[in-house]
């Protein structure tokens, strides 16, 4: 991966000036490169990782990981059914997989009932969806390479004589 992209993927708030120092490139070159990546779709979005456990009532937010087995459509493969599924606002991520299931979804809702209703009334009855397997996320320890809750540092007492 390009070193500018690598730096940005680790810290989206870093300035072009700081990147220039790290890469030993001119600030102008860094800015032009970033603009090019934004324009051609390499950089899609800048993202902040938030530890939702610290800002939400844990009883009012549910995330589920759903494995979906589908029948691919002639001349469209998995893309058409994936697009229909990821168009639902409840679906925050959708991936094509190898293995026993075809698609992996991350679905979010206000509560368990909201997610269950999505699966029962929208996802499972869809044409070409053969089966689903739902896993409710209980706790996140790490997301996008970032540990969400740091281990508390033990405080050492000052010793004076």
Q: What angle do CA 63, 130, 127 make, to 5 degrees?
A: 95
Q: Which helix (H) or strand (E) covers residue 129, if one does? A: strand 129-136
- Ranges of each domain in the chain: 3-40, 57-140
Give the separation between CA 29 and CA 40, rounded to whole angstroms.
16
Output the CA–CA distances (angstroms, integers) from residue 127 to 72, 80, 117, in the order listed: 10, 11, 17
pLDDT in tens, 18-47: 999 999 999 999 999 999 999 999 999 898
- Give the Å distances, CA to CA, from 136 to 69, 139, 155: 18, 9, 36
- Tell me phi and psi for residue 56, to 5 degrees: -125, 155
**What is the C-alpha radius of gyration for the chain, rounded to an integer number of angstroms?**
22
At 136-153, the pLDDT tens digits run 998 888 888 888 876 555
Q: In whole angstroms, give the CA distance from residue 135 to residue 72.
A: 23
Chain-centre distance for alpha carbon 29: 30
| High-pLDDT (> 70) share of the chain, % | 89
Q: Is 49 left (phi over 0), alpha (psi -120 to 50) or beta?
A: beta
Global pTM? 0.74
* pLDDT class of 116 with cuts at 50, 70, 90: very high
**What class does CATH assign to 57-140?**
alpha beta
State the DSSP code for 25: -
Q: How many CB atoms lie within 10 A of CB 8?
A: 17
């Amino acid at each position: 991966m390009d070193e500018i992209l690598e730096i940005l993927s680790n810290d989206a708030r870093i300035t072009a000036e700081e990147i220039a120092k790290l890469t030993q490139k001119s600030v102008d070159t860094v800015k032009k490169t970033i603009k090019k990546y934004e324009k051609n779709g390499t950089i899609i979005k800048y993202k902040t990782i938030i530890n939702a456990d610290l800002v939400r009532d844990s009883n009012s937010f549910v995330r589920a990981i759903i494995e979906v087995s589908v029948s691919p459509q002639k001349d469209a493969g998995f893309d058409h059914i994936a697009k229909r599924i990821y168009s639902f606002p409840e679906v925050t991520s959708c991936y094509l997989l190898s293995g026993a299931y075809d698609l992996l979804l991350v679905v979010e809702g206000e509560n368990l009932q909201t997610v269950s209703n999505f699966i029962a009334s929208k996802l499972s009855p869809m044409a070409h969806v053969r089966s689903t397997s739902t896993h409710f996320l209980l706790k996140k320890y790490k997301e996008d390479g970032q540990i969400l809750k740091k281990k508390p540092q033990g405080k050492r007492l000052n010793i004076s004589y």
